[in-house]
Structure 1
Amino acid sequence: MDKTITACIDDSEYASAVCDAAAWASRRLTAPMSILHVIDNHAEPGVSDASGQIGLGTREHLLEELASLDEKRAKLAQEQGRLMLRAAQERAREAGVADATTRLRNGALVEALVEIEDSIRLLVLGKRGTNADAAREHLGSNLERAIRSLHCPILITPPGFGAPKRVLIAFDGSRTALRMIERIATSPLLREAECHIVFVGQDSEALAEQLVTAGRHLDDACAGVHTQTLTGEIETSLRDYQQRHAIDLLVMGAYGHSRIRHLLIGSTTTEMIRHATIPLLILR
């Protein structure tokens, strides 16, 4: 069975962009698309136990009412999930993916993703979830936990997604970064994009050779290739470069001990994703 481009949707404003990004990737990679919605059974607020303060008969009545309410909530959540999946499926069809499949699961999001990871070629997530409107400066734990827990490529999108034309690849000169370049070179995903390979740090002759090698790998894979060495703080330097060159997709490796890959371990990652106005593709 072919691995899928998996769009993970909820009822936030990011769902449409997630669907659009997944449809784009599905067309570019000629890969099947799957749309996933996970119902968190513990998302609803609970009711405190007042059994020690009320009579037995009142308690039994309350428990019956709570059980009935929980059942109604579960049915409503299931129906809402099915409606969202059908709407996303129709959006994918309008975007050129006629046979997108759907999945409706119960449980915690990250655990559900770990269970199906072997079937995922690329996971597409919104930068924030259902509570985005209530917490504009809060990413939430699901996104960070997904990045840490999963090993598949992850595409994180803000509201609104368009096919990228100019891509910034954060490069640190490591073997992992070179493997990332090779993966990009052998994939049709960015074949029509202009690629900018950017290193932030101390320039050297060895680094210059690595950038030349990286550029050669992408010569036949991208519409155009540019290499650049910058100095300064990584996050600020990359963001400034992105704005100056109208970059509309950032590609980074995940984890490791080098400065750029360390971004996805600590608070710098949270800051970078939080303030990003363009999609971010994370590769292992």
Structure 2
Amino acid sequence: MMEHLTHLRTNDGSGWLGCGINSDKEGASTLKTNQSRLLKRYKDYNDLVNNFHLLPTASIFKLPDGTFSSEKEVLVAFYNIPPAALKRIFQDRRNNHCLNECPYCGQPGKPDTLDHFMPESHWPEFAIYPDNLVPQCENCARKKSNRYYSLTKSACYFIHPMYETALSQVGFEITMQIVAGIIEYKPRIHLNGSANPVIMRRIRQHIESLEIPDYIVRYCRNQHAELIDAINKANAMSAPFDFKLHCERLLESERVKAGIAEGKTMSSFPNWACAFYHALIHSSDIINFYLSQFHLPPNRPSPCVPVTSTLLYP
């Protein structure tokens, strides 16, 4: 259940635009000259996003020969190298969103990237429009890139988490099995609740366009590597390590972050971490696989000699 971001919508970009116009950055006069055009265009944004099945109209700065006027470079520059006031706003949108997973894909962790829903490379007029800038993980920003509309499927590739709540109904399940001594992962993606066929198709296209199942498998392998590393460190120190309890605590931590009540039974989870550790803990084969990795090293390391702390900066 990826979190929707409808609370971030402003339906008004005048404040952000004003920060650019009132700055001393080169190009501020160009923004002021085009202020009325930009504000008028901002009013078109809702229709452009909501009419996901229609190819959006071209940028107001696109010339008949297919190139762009000089305003494009100015607007993109105000996003890439913003003046101080606008930079603070971008940082606030990027960092202060209270998200614990990516709203596009559900990857655990705080999204640390701010990127455009309608690519600024095609629609530079929305380069600093608030409702076009979405907090997301780096993987989604890279995968989404400058893609927006699929001509073959006659629809937008992605779902805008500020405009629709469909992705908040998506949940994740992971199954694990040991094949030839290696753990294999199979992600399953659920839709919790009812949805009409149009929404179902859009969610499926969103998932396929971002290649979310592949990302989940990669995440599982990274988690596995971290667990093996912890086991190896315990082995090297000949230290006791309650592996299952360790995983149970990680699951509980993720459940708290996701707001899942203790003891609540779920068939799917809001992020990949919950799904991963739930699957691990509830599979005796997987638990036994990890337990088999514990051993005493043939040559126990010599104990470290304590050293006196040295003050580097008095």
TM over 0.5: no
TM-score class, shorter-chain normalisation, is under 0.3
Computing the radius of gyration from Cα coordinates, the structure with the larger value is 2
TM value normalised by structure 2: 0.24
Structure with the bigger percentage of strand: 1
TM value normalised by structure 1: 0.25
